[in-house]
């Protein structure tokens, strides 16, 4: 089987790439390296350094050349600080990427098109745990929702355009963590906390730490998504995440405990429109795949911290 992964040099995409390559499939990776690293692309794949938002002809040529059976569209500008600092670029580039990838897939249709959406489309949820039939909520004046709006657009474009020629899956991905995440201020909370606890004198938390999230290890993400791709049902939306909700303050405390550093957080002002709670209802994907997340947060964090200590912060 030929598998194409956009964003395959990034965090989630590189793990998806590895899994299908390991199973003996032909894998094509397309990534601009805006956030990804070429070193994360394993040997044995076809790699194209292409700006998906600005090179539609190149994207179409890749589809024409390889005619993939399975497409994972995981490429996007992610990272919460980007949503606030460059909302126009987040919104426009993410939409343009999806338009160009979906249009190419419509011309050379795969058997299945998988679109990586986000839990951000739920806004401040009206219901916790949040099911897939929850409304999409976007705040017009929230810079943060530059990302959520681009992801919501992508869901509709996938359904209306890719869905005319191929089966599709829309994955509303909740917080996922593991090796290869960006540890800068433009990354997600877990790698940023790991960097701070290992390298910085002052450990800061944005907000009061009572906001909650539910964290899934990347190995569980890959296993469950691969099973969903095999089984379906297709042409539907699925939450992908852990249903174990934890406060950000408790997450920080656990990371300190694993590293063996005294926990003395300094609290910074909250970001505007930061969501107070986020936790998925995963009933639907459990029913489809028969799988649940298996890696508990403490075990996953311990493994992840070990990777960063050996690969990023070894000096």
Low-confidence spans in the chain with pLDDT less than 70: 314-315
- Three-state DSSP class for 202? coil
Q: What is the pLDDT of residue 74?
A: 98
Cβ-contact 118, 147 below 8 angstroms: yes
Q: What is the pLDDT of residue 313?
A: 78
> What does DSSP say about strands 26-31 and 266-268: parallel, antiparallel, or unpaired?
unpaired
Q: What is the pLDDT of residue 314?
A: 60
The length of the chain, given as a count of residues: 315
Q: What is the pLDDT of residue 292?
A: 98
Active site annotation includes 147: yes
- Three-state DSSP class for 237? strand
Q: What is the pTM of this model?
A: 0.97
Which whole-number Å values give the CA distances from 281 to 172, 205, 214, 221, 297, in the listed order?
A: 11, 27, 11, 15, 18
**Please, what are the domains in the chain?**
2-176+216-240 (3.40.50.720)
The one catalytic residue among 48, 74, 147, 238: 147
Q: How far apart are CA 52 and CA 71, in angstroms?
A: 14
- The DSSP symbol for 163 reads G
Q: What is the pLDDT of residue 264?
A: 97
């Amino acid at each position: 089987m030929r598998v194409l992964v956009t964003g395959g040099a990034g965090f989630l995409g590189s793990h998806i790439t590895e899994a299908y390559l390991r199973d003996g499939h032909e894998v094509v990776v397309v990534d601009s390296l805006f956030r990804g690293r070429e070193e994360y692309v394993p040997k044995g794949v076809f790699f194209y350094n292409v700006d998906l938002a600005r090179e539609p002809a190149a994207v179409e040529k890749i589809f024409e050349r390889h005619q993939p059976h399975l497409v994972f569209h995981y490429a996007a500008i992610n990272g919460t600080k980007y949503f606030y600092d460059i909302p126009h670029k987040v919104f426009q580039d993410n939409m343009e990427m999806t338009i160009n990838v979906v249009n190419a897939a419509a011309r050379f249709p795969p058997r299945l098109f998988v679109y990586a959406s986000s839990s951000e489309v739920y806004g401040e949820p009206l219901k916790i745990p949040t099911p897939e039939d929850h409304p999409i909520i976007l705040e017009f004046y929230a810079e943060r929702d530059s990302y959520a709006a681009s992801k919501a657009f992508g869901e509709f474009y996938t359904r209306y355009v890719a869905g005319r020629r191929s089966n599709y899956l829309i994955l509303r991905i909740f917080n996922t963590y593991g090796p290869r995440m960006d540890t800068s201020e433009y990354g997600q909370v877990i790698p940023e906390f790991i960097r701070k606890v290992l390298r910085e004198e002052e450990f800061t938390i944005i907000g009061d730490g009572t906001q909650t999230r539910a964290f899934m290890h990347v190995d569980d993400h890959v296993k469950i998504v691969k099973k969903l791709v095999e089984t379906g049902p297709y042409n539907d939306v699925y939450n992908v995440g852990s249903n174990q909700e934890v406060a950000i303050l408790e997450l920080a405390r656990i990371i300190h405990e694993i590293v063996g550093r005294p926990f003395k957080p300094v609290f910074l002002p909250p970001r505007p429109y930061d969501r107070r709670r986020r936790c998925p209802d995963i009933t639907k994907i459990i029913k489809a795949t028969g799988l649940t997340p298996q890696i508990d947060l403490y075990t996953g964090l311990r493994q992840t911290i070990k990777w960063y200590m050996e690969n990023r912060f070894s000096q």
